[in-house]
Chain A
C-alpha cells in the first residue's frame, strides 16, 4: 500500500539533514518533497517534507530516523492565533522559521498566514500575549 505523509523532522545541529534524506530515498525507496528547511534559534535543524512510498518502506524510514536521533512530528497539529488576544506587537515576526508572520505596512498589523505555518511551536512561548495556540 502506498502512502503519503507530511512530517516535520527535528534534528540536532550535529546531524546533517541532507544525508539522512538521501538514505530515505536511496535505501528505502521513499519519494520526498522538501517543503521547507531551517535552523531554529536553538540551532535545531527543521525539515518539513512530504514523504511517499510503500507503507512498509515508510515504517522502515521512520525506524531509521529514530535510530539517527531524529524526532519526527507529523503535521496533524495546527497552530492558530486567537485574534482577540493578539495585540499585533510583532514579537513573533522574526521567531517564526516559516515566515508565517508579516507586518502589513499600511496598518502596521501583524498578518498570520496559517498555510505557511509548519507547527513547529516556537511562537507559542515567544508570543507575550499567549495568542498562539496549538490545536490537535
Chain B
C-alpha cells in the first residue's frame, strides 16, 4: 500500500491533497505512467448523472393535531401515491409512482408528465407540496382525513434512499423490429435506426473501481448535490459477470444503494424525468471519490473509454422477453463518436445520461476535497465481490392457480 485513507485525510485537512478527476487521470497516466501518478495523486473523483429509476425518498411530516396514522391508509403527494405502510407519519415516495388518474399507456405512447421523480424534484426545490391522506382512525390516532401543504424545510426528516443506482455498466439499446418502440432507453427507431446508451463510461464510479476495492458500504459520496453514503449493495448487484482483460465488466454488473439528507440536495442534481411511452423517473447525480491506495487501484481508475465496453441488446424482443443473445460489444469511445456499426449497418448513437453533467460532478467533488470540505471514509464492509456467490437471479414463476382469484387482488 502506498498510502492509507487516514494519511490522505490528513492531507485533505491541511489542504494539500492532490485530487484529479477520472478523466484527468487518463491523461496523467498517459504522460507520466502508473508508478509516478500513483505516488503523486491521492484521490480520483468520478461522476455520473442519469435516470436512475430505482430511487425514492422517505419523509416524516410531523404529527397533526389531532393525530393521524397514515399506516394502513393512503397518502398522496401532489396527487402521486406514496407508500404509507409505516407508522404514523412516515411516507416513502418512489420515482416511478404515477397519479391514479394518469392515463399511462392507454393512448400509446403515454406522456407521463408528472410522477414521483417530479415530486422529489419539487420538494428539493423548496416548493410547497400538497399532502392528502386518508386513514381509518384509532383511539390514539383518531383523525381520518388530512389535507395540507407541506414544505421540505418544515419536515422532520427528508431522506433520499435509492435501492439501486450507479449501475456498473449498462446495456446499449437498439430496436431490430419494424416499428418504433418507446422504452426506458428512449425512443428507439425501427430497423436499428438509432442506438442509445446510458453510462458515463470513463467517469462512471463503479467502472473505475471494478473490483470494489475502495467503494464499499459506508463510503461517503456526492449525492444529488449534497453528501450521501453508500448504504448497501444495490438491488440486482451482480459482480460475477463477463469481464474484459482489464477486469471491467462488459455488461450490467455491480450496483449501489445510496442514502443521504434530501434537505442538503438541490434540483440541479435531482430531476424528475418523463420517458415517453415508459413512465416517470428521477435523474440522480452521483460522484464517488477513489482513494489511490495502490498502483493497481490507480490503473483501474485510469481506464479510458477505448477500453470500456458495453453490450448491445435488442429491446424489441430479447430484452422484453428475457431471452439471451446480444448484438455484440462496443466501446464507449465508439459509442461517443456518434456512430457505430452493427452487422454492417452504420447506426447513429446518443447518450441518455449526461456526460457534461458527469464532468461537472467529478469537478465539484474534486473542489470539495481540495477545499477540505469532504473527507474520505473507510468502507465499513465491502460490497459483495466476484467470489461472494451473489448473483442476479431471474424470477422462477410458480403459478398460484385457483387460489389467485379468491384473494380479490385484481
With both chains docked as a complex, state the minimum distance between the C-beta of A117 and any C-beta of chain B, in angstroms. Answer: 17
Stretch at the interface among B74-82, B189-197, B378-386: B189-197
Any A CB within 8 A of the CB of B275: yes
Cβ–Cβ contact A41 & B271, under 8 A: no
Residues of B within 8 A of A93 (CB): 348, 350
A67-101: CB near B (< 8 Å → 1, else 0) gives 00000000000000000000111111111000000
Residues of A within 8 A of B180 (CB): 41-42
A103 to B190, CA, bound (A): 23
Cβ–Cβ contact A87 & B350, under 8 A: no
Any B CB within 8 A of the CB of A130: yes
Any A CB within 8 A of the CB of B113: yes
With both chains docked as a complex, state the minimum distance between the C-beta of B333 and any C-beta of chain A, in angstroms. Answer: 12
Any B CB within 8 A of the CB of A35: no
Q: Which residue of A lies closest to B277 (CB)?
A: A125
Cβ–Cβ contact A91 & B111, under 8 A: no
Cβ–Cβ contact B352 & A41, under 8 A: no
With both chains docked as a complex, state the minimum distance between the C-beta of B261 and any C-beta of chain A, in angstroms. Answer: 23
Cβ–Cβ contact A87 & B354, under 8 A: yes
Q: Which residue of B lies closest to A103 (CB)?
A: B338
Cβ–Cβ contact A87 & B271, under 8 A: yes
Q: Of residues A41, A95, A130, which shows the largest number of chain B Cβ atoms within 10 Å of its Cβ?
A: A41
With both chains docked as a complex, state the minimum distance between the C-beta of B61 and any C-beta of chain A, in angstroms. Answer: 28
Tell me the chain B residues, 321-336 only, with Cβ under 8 Å from chain A: 336
Cβ–Cβ contact B271 & A90, under 8 A: no
Any B CB within 8 A of the CB of A6: no
Interface range for B:
20 to 34
A91 to B193, CA, bound (A): 14
Tell me the chain A residues, 16-56 only, with Cβ under 8 Å from chain B: 41-43
Q: Which of A41, A87, A125 contacts B49 (CB 8 A)?
A: A87
B183-224: CB near A (< 8 Å → 1, else 0) gives 000110110011010000000000000000000000000000
Tell me the chain A residues, 121-136 only, with Cβ under 8 Å from chain B: 125-126, 128-130
Cβ–Cβ contact B351 & A130, under 8 A: no
Cβ–Cβ contact A89 & B113, under 8 A: no
With both chains docked as a complex, state the minimum distance between the C-beta of A79 and any C-beta of chain B, in angstroms. Answer: 16
Residues of A within 8 A of B95 (CB): none
Q: Which of A41, A88, A94, A95 contacts B356 (CB 8 A)?
A: A88
A109 to B357, CA, bound (A): 9
**A: which residues have CB within 8 A of B?**
41-43, 87-95, 103, 107-109, 125-126, 128-130
Q: Top 4 closest A-B pairs, CB basis? A: A94-B194, A108-B355, A93-B350, A128-B273
Between A and B, 12 residue pairs with Cβ closer than 8 Å are A41-B189, A43-B190, A89-B351, A89-B353, A90-B351, A93-B348, A107-B356, A108-B359, A109-B356, A125-B274, A128-B276, A129-B271
**B: which residues have CB within 8 A of A?**
49-51, 109, 111, 113, 180, 186-187, 189-190, 193-194, 196, 271, 273-276, 281, 283, 336, 338, 348-357, 359
